[in-house]
Structure 1
Amino acid sequence: MNTLEWIAAALGVVNIALLVRRSVWNFAFGMAMVGLYAFVFREARLYGEAALQVFFFAAQGWGWWLWVRAGGAESQVPVRWLTPLSRAVWLVATAALSLNLGWVMHRFTDAALPYADSAITGASIAAQILLGLRRVENWVLWIAIDLGSIAVYLAKGLYPTAGLYVLFLALSVVGLREWIAAARVAR
């Protein structure tokens, strides 16, 4: 499974690099990456993250469609911020999803790290939706997700994936800076 993990990681690097640049082509690489990671995470008994890859695949297709409609096929897509009320709603919904999913995995599966897995899963769902909607806050969530993911993948011995998430963390910081600048220009 190690070769598959390395290929998925390489696709992920291209995906995030294109995403930081607000290129619609990030989605093609993202779909290939998550397709491979579904198998990697299933083998590692990270069931929440394995199932998350199915969601990501669908969300990548949805995001691709939204970004093309927003004019992303010819240029960089426009981005904007959530309202303060929207931020609060997203935070509460993400926490509720994560806690409930963690309880289900703890109670009904042999998941290796049910609550850590579910926190990453719940936050990743929110971040991916916010990404599709082109909201700057998606990067804040990705930074938190990357930090948690690095710890989980190191604990599970998924070293290439942990390394990928170190790179994702750096790219997420760059993405946040780039998208903040783009949102300011769009005002």
Structure 2
Amino acid sequence: MTLHDLLGPLLQPAFHMGTVPTTWAELLGFVTGGVNVWLVVRQNILNWPIGIANVILLGLVFLDGGLYADAGLQIVFVGLQAYGWWVWLYGGDARDALPVTRTTRGAWIALLAAGAATTAVLTWMLTTWTDSTVPFWDALTTALSLMAIYGQSRKLVESWYIWIAADLVYIPLYFYKDLKLTSALYIIFLTLCVLGLNAWRKDLRGRLAPVPA
């Protein structure tokens, strides 16, 4: 059995939204994506294995839809999801006890510089070597997502702001590329990101609050 035989059925239509087909990969990506972000909001470590399944499914969707940078990003995400899983397990004082913290000024400078460089390089690569119709936006969302997943893996509260910025671009981008269900998923992601930001900020305030004598 070839890889195409194994994965091909996932790219078959599960149903149609009007005249636009929605594949099984997009449908399953919708479900696992919603569960994944909900678990991140709750700081549940199971978000990482479910996230790995989600990025594999969405990688197929993006490759099929011509979003090459986003498709390649999902491969990187598999490694970053595994890294985040390890950090949440062993990065705190106790198992699954990595605390929520703030992003330092130095970390912000490094993240913004890396994000700008990644966007520029990917835009050039997509323009030069692919038939992408949205090279800049594909590159920008890829860079923002990499910044956000790194912050999430370290439980940096500001990672939610980066996810929100990425989602605000992803929603119209996926709608434009006829990935209607994925666009709807990112509307749900955006709502969950706001909830996650509030939950992590509350957790951070509670941890930093002075202990009564």
CA distance in 1, matches of 2:94, 2:144: 28
> Is 1:17 aligned with 2:38?
yes
Quickly say closer, same or farther: Cα 1:133–1:74, change in 2 above 3 A: closer
Aligned match of 2:65 = 44
In the alignment, structure 1 segments of 5+ residues that lack a partner are: none
Give the 5 Å matches for 1:85-104: 85-104=106-125
User: Is the contact between residue 157 and residue 201 of structure 2 (CA under 8 Å) also seen in structure 1?
Assistant: yes
Tell me which structure has the larger Cα radius of gyration: 2
Q: Give the aligned residue type for 2:200.
A: W
Greater helix fraction, Structure 1 or Structure 2? 1
Per the normalisation by structure 1, the TM-score is: 0.95
* Larger RCO, structures 1/2 (Cα 8 Å, 6+ apart): 1
CA distance in 2, matches of 1:12, 1:19: 11
Aligned match of 2:186 = 165
Q: Give the aligned residue type for 1:32.
A: A
Alignment identity in percent?
35
**Pick from 81, 87, 97: which aligns with 2:102?**
81
> Is 1:182 aligned with 2:207?
no
User: Is the contact between residue 32 and residue 53 of structure 2 (CA under 8 Å) also seen in structure 1?
Assistant: yes
Cα RMSD after superposing both structures: 1.6
Aligned match of 2:56 = 35
Quickly say closer, same or farther: Cα 1:92–1:74, change in 2 above 3 A: closer
Indicate the larger mover: 16-25 or 69-78.
69-78
CA distance in 2, matches of 1:161, 1:148: 13
Aligned match of 1:113 = 134
CA distance in 1, matches of 2:139, 2:33: 21
User: Is the contact between residue 16 and residue 26 of structure 1 (CA under 8 Å) also seen in structure 2?
Assistant: yes
Q: Give the aligned residue type for 1:160.
A: L
Q: Give the aligned residue type for 1:145.
A: A
Deviations for 1:55-94, whole angstroms, at most 9, x for unmatched residues?
A: 1111111100110114599666421001123212211221
Per the normalisation by structure 2, the TM-score is: 0.83
Equivalent pairs, count? 187
Q: Displacement, 1:96?
A: 1.5
CA distance in 1, matches of 2:127, 2:142: 14
In the alignment, structure 2 segments of 5+ residues that lack a partner are: 1-10, 12-22, 209-213
**Pick from 147, 159, 163: which aligns with 1:126?**
147
User: Is the contact between residue 22 and residue 77 of structure 1 (CA under 8 Å) also seen in structure 2?
Assistant: no
Q: Which runs of 4+ in 1 moved over 6 A?
A: none
Q: Give the aligned residue type for 2:111.
A: W
